[in-house]
Chain A
Amino acid sequence: MKAKLLAYTPAAPLMKASGVLDWRSLLPHLGYTFAVEKISRACSHQLVRHRAASFSQQSQRYITVKRLSERVVTPPSVETAGADEFNKLVEEVSEAYQRLVEQGVPKEDARFILPNATETSLLMTMDGRSLLHFFGLRCCNRAQWEIRALADRMLEEARAAEPDVFNEAGPYCYQLGYCPEGRFTCGRMQEALDMYRP
């Protein structure tokens, strides 16, 4: 998995041009574009639920999935238990996909048998306010492991580019000073605060 901040609109020149002294009120106007690479389709399905964002994703209609076994994301839990079962099925699907394509089935139809584990890459653009919300939800201990790892890498990139804006970003407990998860709280807020403090 890789996340790289390709481009963004810096806050400082906009603050100067507009005379606005607080970057928080400019957040909806700031844009951040990331290359998100080699995540699973399961993860990209979660990403696109963030509707206030723009996505351009590798299309399985146009790109043939060659050697599926080298292009799947394997969850850590599967690596410790169930790896044989997982790998066997991936191999079978890989062969079946290739056979379908060779028999003349269009890629857009052959892809119907590909698993959620299939790797994908995409461009994602969010405004600053949506990105803070994304970090609030997806850096949380309760987020699923893959999108959480992705959110952490994106946060690293964002902090390196705009520390004044994103040093305050992280899971909602870090942003708000309390956990908004109610009875679902992980109970490890202090750990999260220590982890996300720059």
Chain B
Amino acid sequence: MRITLVAHTPDVEVMVAASMLTTTSGAQPSTLHERLQANPEKVREVVGRLEVQHGNVLEHNRLIWVLEATRDEVMDVMLDTRYLTFTKLDRNRWIMSGNLRAVAEYAHKKDTEFTGKLVESLKEVAPTIHQYIRRGVK
């Protein structure tokens, strides 16, 4: 299976940090988001505390991949996780999308070559969370 990340929510980790702080801060979410966009150090610090947070903070994003795989291979993924969405492009080509929570939970559940590639595709767009998921992959 080949997988290529083709689109994603911009500044994914800024949104994760904004989401984490929204639940516990009296500041408005748009203000938090604006402040965090200007402060990458704070984003790393907040996202670094991820393990103590609820999983829903990983849901405010969308990641979209083009997947080259057979129908059986896609069926296996679909049976393992219901939080990834698929559209068939042609015989062995698919669009697949989901959020960071879907990837994290799937990767924690299944340590396969495919989940490895899935997690690696996050390296540039969500480096702190990429490390977090890698640590969790058994």
A residues whose Cβ falls under 8 Å from a Cβ of B: 2, 4, 6-10, 13-14, 17-20, 25-26, 28-31, 33, 35-38, 54-59, 62-63, 121-123, 125, 127
Contacts and interface: CB of A to CB of B under 8 A. Distances in A.
Contacts of B61: 7, 31, 33, 125
Shortest 8 CB-CB distances between A and B: which pairs?
Answer: A31-B62, A54-B59, A17-B6, A35-B30, A29-B97, A35-B29, A56-B19, A62-B24
Nearest to B61: A31
Given A18-B66, A37-B28, A121-B22, 20 more contacts: A6-B30, A7-B9, A7-B10, A14-B7, A17-B6, A26-B95, A29-B62, A29-B87, A29-B97, A31-B97, A33-B9, A35-B29, A56-B19, A56-B20, A62-B23, A122-B22, A123-B15, A123-B18, A125-B59, A125-B60
Size bracket, chain B contacts: 20 to 34
Contacts of B24: 59, 62-63
B57 interface: yes
Contacts of A56: 19-20, 22-23, 29, 56-57, 60
B29 to A, nearest CB: 4
A29 B64 contact: yes
Given A20-B89, A28-B87, A123 B64 contact: no
Nearest to A124: B60
A123 B22 contact: yes
A19 to B, nearest CB: 7
A109 to B, nearest CB: 17
A6 B97 contact: no
A17 B33 CA distance: 29
Contact of A26 (B15, B25, B33, B87): B87
Given A14-B6, A14-B7, A29-B95, A121 B89 contact: no
- Residue of A10, A57, A121, A122 with most chain B CB atoms under a 10 A cut-off: A121
Q: A19, A58, A62 — which one has the most chain B CB atoms within 10 A of its CB?
A: A58
A1 to B, nearest CB: 12
**Most chain A CB inside 10 Å of its own CB: which residue of B8, B19, B61, B62:** B62
Contacts of B97: 28-29, 31
A150 B65 CA distance: 32
Contacts of A57: 22-23
A58 B87 contact: no
A25 B97 CA distance: 13
Interface in B98-123: 99
A55 B89 contact: no
Contact of A58 (B6, B26, B30, B99): B26
Among A4, A13, A17, A36: residue with most chain B CB under 10 A: A17
A10 B8 CA distance: 9
Contacts of B20: 56
